[in-house]
Structure formats: structure tokens, C-alpha cells
Chains A and B, each alone.
Chain A
């Protein structure tokens, strides 16, 4: 248990450190933008004449909707893990009682 708390603490520390550092932000960009988007910008810098030949069939209409769907994705995942852990934990304790 103690080990797991330490592991969690390590992740929290790794996640907080970037906020404590100073970053130079390029004009027109926001701090902590996504690496995927930066790669997209880089492509258009290297090959200014490249035009994407296919568009997403559907795009979340706003940042809010996008975060809704990311939240949903994380919730589905966490639900699956929680269900699995709870199921085996309860089954083990009921076997022990018998």
C-alpha cells in the first residue's frame, strides 16, 4: 500500500515540475499546447505547400465538447479497471469467508 502511494506521489511530482519551470512561449502559441498539434505546425513549416488530402469526418464543435469526449474516454477506462478490481476483490473475500 505504502509502495503504491509512493508511486502515485512520483507521478504527481513529475506532473507538477513542468509548472514550476519557466518556458518561453512563441508568439501566437499558448503554453502547454499539444505535441500532436506542434508536429502539425512543423509539417507546414517544412513543407508549406502540403495540403491535407482528407478531413476528419466529424470534429468536436468546440473545446468544451472535445473535453467532454476526452472525459468520457477516461471515465470508460477507469470504470473498466474499477469494475475488474472490485469484482476480483469481492470474489476473493467471499471465497475466504467460506
Chain B
């Protein structure tokens, strides 16, 4: 999902940057407030960020014969909500842009939008909807993480198709091509991300359920 440095036309790069800024700004505000109100949640925030770091460093092979990586946004979103995870996602993307030449500063806005904003809001929406539908907790976590992962890569495909429409088949043609690279590859990876998120959530709940309850990190009906 990383759009490489310089690989978005200037106008698009600026537009995605402007689109992402309010989300990040409000996310920083929410993050500060949460840490003040529930300082005991700090370690769990660290673990949520850590999960993003690990998962986005793991380039996994896919059935398409190419490699891609999960995002890890889902886990933290189910605990801290979409706004705070937008900030965490941006930190990961910044680390990769500066140290790994993976993604970039000019494409940071677009990459934050796909991974940290769309990824976390889809995770949050799916998680809440699953709980309302009274699906089992683990199923809700799995769906949130897997669909958030897919949504991120679909967003990247849309972003690239908007910037680089096919000269013959236009936006739709380009979208199909980028989806073939990103979305299909991502299906088994999204499943893996779902399973890993459930696994880590199980471990967290087995060891830190009191803190999660006291810091109001999961909806009441879960406990």
C-alpha cells in the first residue's frame, strides 16, 4: 500500500495531505486526552503501536506470486478507536518513509489516508457493527482486522487509478489493473492479519483485562 516517494502528481499529493491533516490533528487531541484520562492505558497503546510495527514489517508471500504486508491497524482500533490509531499509523508510515525509503514524504498524506484513516475507520465500523449483530467477540475482531486490511489496499488502488488513469480504458481500466496488483494479493494476507489480531487480543485479554476494563478500552458488553 505504500505509494513510493514522488509517485503521485503534485496536485494529488497535496490534496491527500490536506484531506489527512484534520484526521491526524483531531487524533493527536484525542490521544492526549486519553493518556491524561486513562494513563494506565499507555502500555496497551504501546502494544497497539508495536503490533502495527511488526505487521507492517512482515512482507508475506501471497497466492499471486508476489509479496505484500498487513497493516496491524485493526487491533489498536478496537481498543482505542479510529482517531488515535490514525496517529499511530502515521508514526509507522513516517518511520518507513524516512529510514526505509518505503513510501515517502510527498506521498505520506495519501498513505496515511489509506492505511491510517480508511484502515482504522473501516476496522471501527466493522467492529461495532459486528457487536451490534451480536457476533462472537473473536469473530468481530477478525472481521475488523481483515476488512480494514483489505480496505487499505483497495484505497491505494483507487488513489493510484485517480492519479494514473489508463489512456485507453480510463479510471476504471487503471483501477482494475491496480486492484489486480494490490487487492487480490492481499486476500490471504488479510486473513492472516485477522488471525494474528485475534491471537494477540486473546493474549491481551488473558493478562490485562482489568486494565482494559478500567481504561474503558472495550465496550462494556465484552466483559
- Residues on A lying within 8 angstroms of B by beta carbon are 3-4, 7-8, 10-11, 14-15, 17-19, 21, 23-25, 31-36, 38-40, 42-43, 46-47, 50, 52-60, 66, 69-71, 73-74, 76-81, 83-85, 87-89, 92
Q: Which residues of A contact B97 (CB under 8 A)?
A: 56
With A55-B6, A59-B101, A73-B53 already in contact, the answer to whether A42 and B192 are too (CB < 8 A) is no
A sample of 13 cross-chain residue pairs with beta-carbon separation below 8 angstroms, ordered by A number, consists of A7-B195, A35-B67, A42-B178, A54-B5, A57-B105, A70-B57, A70-B100, A71-B57, A76-B50, A77-B50, A77-B53, A88-B211, A92-B207
Other 12 A-B pairs with CB < 8 A, given A46-B177, A73-B54: A15-B60, A19-B61, A32-B67, A33-B66, A34-B68, A35-B186, A46-B165, A54-B106, A78-B50, A80-B46, A85-B207, A88-B207
- Does B21 sit within 8 A of A, measured CB to CB? no
Give the residues from 95 to 153 in chain B that come closer than 8 angstroms, CB to CB, to chain A.
95-102, 104-106
Q: Which residues of A contact B53 (CB under 8 A)?
A: 73-74, 76-77, 80
With A36-B1, A40-B4, A74-B53 already in contact, the answer to whether A87 and B198 are too (CB < 8 A) is no
* A3, chain B: closest CB distance, angstroms: 7
Closest chain A residue to B188 by CB distance? A14
Contacting pair A78 B54 (CB below 8 A) = yes
With A11-B196, A46-B164, A80-B50 already in contact, the answer to whether A23 and B65 are too (CB < 8 A) is yes
* A33, chain B: closest CB distance, angstroms: 6
Closest chain B residue to A86 by CB distance? B207
Closest chain A residue to B193 by CB distance? A11
Contacting pair A35 B195 (CB below 8 A) = no
- Does B203 sit within 8 A of A, measured CB to CB? yes
* A35, chain B: closest CB distance, angstroms: 4
A18 to B61, CA, bound (A): 6
* A49, chain B: closest CB distance, angstroms: 11
A42 to B178, CA, bound (A): 8
